[in-house]
A and B are shown apart, each in its own frame.
Chain A
């Protein structure tokens, strides 16, 4: 039987990373729920066995239900009637299969009917679902909204909404508006408290809302009259059963066509306040976005995996000049680089997920008892790293996903340009990953802080301390010299004291840091599993070349040249 979890041995490799022992212990709070719930793990091995078994269920559903439905869903798409969305037939089947399997609300606590899984297996599930159908992955992945309700909602709101996820409730996060896209401070949707109804009422328009007709929606709205910036915005939860929101239309998109992107009209829609007023954007949405960015990174890795597989299969079957095309250097180089980049971005994805897991677990524990000094330090450190790595992995994996999908079409030749092959859909689906939940350009804005404040460098020097096998010492040496070059050029850019210049070089600098980080991650992977040594041997020369190219450009660039680039 086909299974997307068991057919890719790299997944099990990342799931069983040595850091998991600590992550699982923190998440399970020393396995204290073992006598309270008959499905709670008793120890680390038990928990890991649970993760694998559940990923196998998801892997089977992905391979046998979701992936076979993907083409029909892409063609059929969702429709709108009387202001509400009807999913494509395949989408309904996918959602029902996953709901019955009980894998929605995977990381919520058990008292809200969740599975209490850490982020690592959850992100892995997101990768699997995305590989099967990236559009559907959005609908499934919006269970992330529950995380925000869990972290910031009152107990009353948690109890009302969270258990519904596991029973199959769909969710949406209603943030953007016609005039508030990347700049969410400009949100206009109005919330006012109606004394007679004893509820907040929402009025206005939201646009580009993924899965906008969901049963549970988190809505960013202006609750403070007379304000104009982010400090006047609060977060609300709206229950579709209460009515008041209609779908005006759904967008006709290039890709992820199974996922309805809605324009919503709110007319006195009753909603409940999540957390405190005025913290909607500046605190809650920032947290929500970080979760969503990790989700898009997982989605990008999933699409890239699917594209690489299509390309590898096609190249092994297609014959030209008397042999299969994967025998030609021009093709096998492409295929191998696709695979190695995929491995590198996957290593970065799960490293990020581990940082997120660590800080979330400490945050959860700190709500119950004061943390010790070391624990506080660990929480601070992992929070900082998660903040740096999340935009970085979103940037890298979405951009590389696009490159891999591009090459996958290229390997198909003319056939790839025709709708008969899945790679055409993958190419269209890939495109959105570097746009939504913050464009690549915005990820750079978030990630550059890790470069300028030295956070990246400190972590890279940490990686440097880990021992490597003697035969790989030369690779480590290479990484150390890349790091030294990076350190020097960052210092040079900062020394110029020109913010615009820093912004101009920001992407180059972030990508240089990311290449070094992925180089170390692959090198460490190769210590644990020989199968990764080929990946690191191929990746490193690529990283060296790419970094030196950027280095050369930045080093020889003069501030006054900025003017040459200015459009106005």
Chain B
């Protein structure tokens, strides 16, 4: 569909894929300071889907939307390096401590303000693993939603989406406006583009400019600014944000140590392999 506007929801997350013993604090929250901050992997899959639509149809724009501390502006830059047109950073002290409900409230307000035709996000973030934010944003917007997407294209004005489900794939068709969440099995995001990196490396939010030496960054070049919105900009009710807007409470933390109970030795003979395959099929590990 030519001329549509896409918003990609993206989150900066601590890299929980290689965690050490100090990855979690005593109160059960993630110790963000010891883990590198990265672009949530499935949000990169989502960005790739948006960029493919942009390449395939005329006049499509892709805007990245992220909520987080000032340093989450890096997510916007990463998006610009790969071909996004622009980005908005939702940042405000009042957002701190938001659970999925408060987060989707803020994101939905920002999406309304941007008024896109299509919102694409990753299925879930690797820090919380809730997979709630995408669907909640759709609910708050009152838009239909399609989850677990792997591939999408337009037929007429309807988006045809292939979904990856537990036991196969399902193809659905949906009208716009629409929220889609993308699965990690979708194609990986493209790498940064050399020219875009050189162009956007000094793109900054207002707060970053104040914190850094802006004169040096600008150094005679036209300043590329990243939009920064706070509570007022999206007209949010402070009571529905942050800790006060977040009903989620951590009740208890339990350390689960996964231990194998028994081990089995197999030779490389055909009969051993066959018996293993049969066993795995029977207990539904595979198949």
**In the complex, are the beta carbons of B198 and A53 less than 8 A apart?**
yes
Query: What's the least CB distance linking B214 to chain A, in Å?
Result: 15
Residues of A contacting B221 in the complex (Cβ-Cβ under 8 angstroms)? 34, 38, 42
**In the complex, are the beta carbons of B195 and A115 less than 8 A apart?**
yes
Query: What's the least CB distance linking B55 to chain A, in Å?
Result: 10
Q: Tell whether A60 is near chain B: CB-to-CB under 8 Å.
A: yes
Query: Which of these, B195, B201, B219, B222, contacts A102 with CB under 8 Å?
Result: B195
Can you identify 19 A-B contacts, CB atoms within 8 angstroms? A34-B220, A39-B195, A39-B199, A41-B198, A42-B219, A42-B221, A46-B219, A54-B198, A57-B192, A57-B194, A60-B191, A61-B191, A97-B191, A101-B192, A101-B193, A102-B193, A102-B194, A103-B194, A115-B194
In the complex, the chain A residue whose C-beta lies closest to that of B216 is A45
In the complex, the chain A residue whose C-beta lies closest to that of B197 is A53
CB-CB contacts below 8 Å: B210-230 with A? 219-222
Residues of A contacting B222 in the complex (Cβ-Cβ under 8 angstroms)? 38
CB-CB contacts below 8 Å: A5-51 with B? 34-35, 38-43, 46, 49-50
Other A-B pairs beyond A39-B199, A40-B198, A61-B191, 11, CB < 8 Å: A34-B220, A42-B219, A43-B219, A50-B198, A57-B194, A57-B197, A97-B190, A101-B191, A101-B192, A102-B196, A103-B194
Q: Tell whether A461 is near chain B: CB-to-CB under 8 Å.
A: no
- A43, A50, A102: residue with the most chain B Cβ atoms closer than 10 Å: A102
**In the complex, are the beta carbons of B193 and A100 less than 8 A apart?**
yes
Query: What's the least CB distance linking A354 to chain B, in Å?
Result: 22
In the assembled complex, the Cα of A42 lies from the Cα of B191 at a distance in Å of 25
Query: Which of these, A43, A53, A60, contacts B201 with CB under 8 Å?
Result: A53
Residues of A contacting B196 in the complex (Cβ-Cβ under 8 angstroms)? 39, 102
In the assembled complex, the Cα of A43 lies from the Cα of B197 at a distance in Å of 16
In the complex, the chain A residue whose C-beta lies closest to that of B15 is A1
In the assembled complex, the Cα of A100 lies from the Cα of B81 at a distance in Å of 11
Contact code string B193-209 (vs A, CB < 8 Å = 1, else 0): 11111110100000000
Interface residues of A (CB under 8 A from B): 34-35, 38-43, 46, 49-50, 53-54, 57, 60-61, 97, 100-103, 115
**In the complex, are the beta carbons of A54 and B190 less than 8 A apart?**
no
Interface residues of B (CB under 8 A from A): 190-199, 201, 219-222
Residues of A contacting B192 in the complex (Cβ-Cβ under 8 angstroms)? 53, 57, 101
Query: What's the least CB distance linking B195 to chain A, in Å?
Result: 5
In the assembled complex, the Cα of A35 lies from the Cα of B221 at a distance in Å of 7
Query: What's the least CB distance linking B102 to chain A, in Å?
Result: 32
Residues of A contacting B194 in the complex (Cβ-Cβ under 8 angstroms)? 53-54, 57, 101-103, 115
Query: Which of these, A39, A61, A101, contacts B198 with CB under 8 Å?
Result: A39
In the assembled complex, the Cα of A60 lies from the Cα of B44 at a distance in Å of 16
In the assembled complex, the Cα of A49 lies from the Cα of B199 at a distance in Å of 12
Residues of B contacting A57 in the complex (Cβ-Cβ under 8 angstroms)? 191-194, 197
Residues of B contacting A41 in the complex (Cβ-Cβ under 8 angstroms)? 198
Residues of A contacting B193 in the complex (Cβ-Cβ under 8 angstroms)? 57, 100-102
In the assembled complex, the Cα of A38 lies from the Cα of B198 at a distance in Å of 8
Residues of B contacting A42 in the complex (Cβ-Cβ under 8 angstroms)? 219-221
Query: What's the least CB distance linking A163 to chain B, in Å?
Result: 13
Query: What's the least CB distance linking B159 to chain A, in Å?
Result: 24
**In the complex, are the beta carbons of B190 and A100 less than 8 A apart?**
yes
Residues of B contacting A115 in the complex (Cβ-Cβ under 8 angstroms)? 194-195, 198
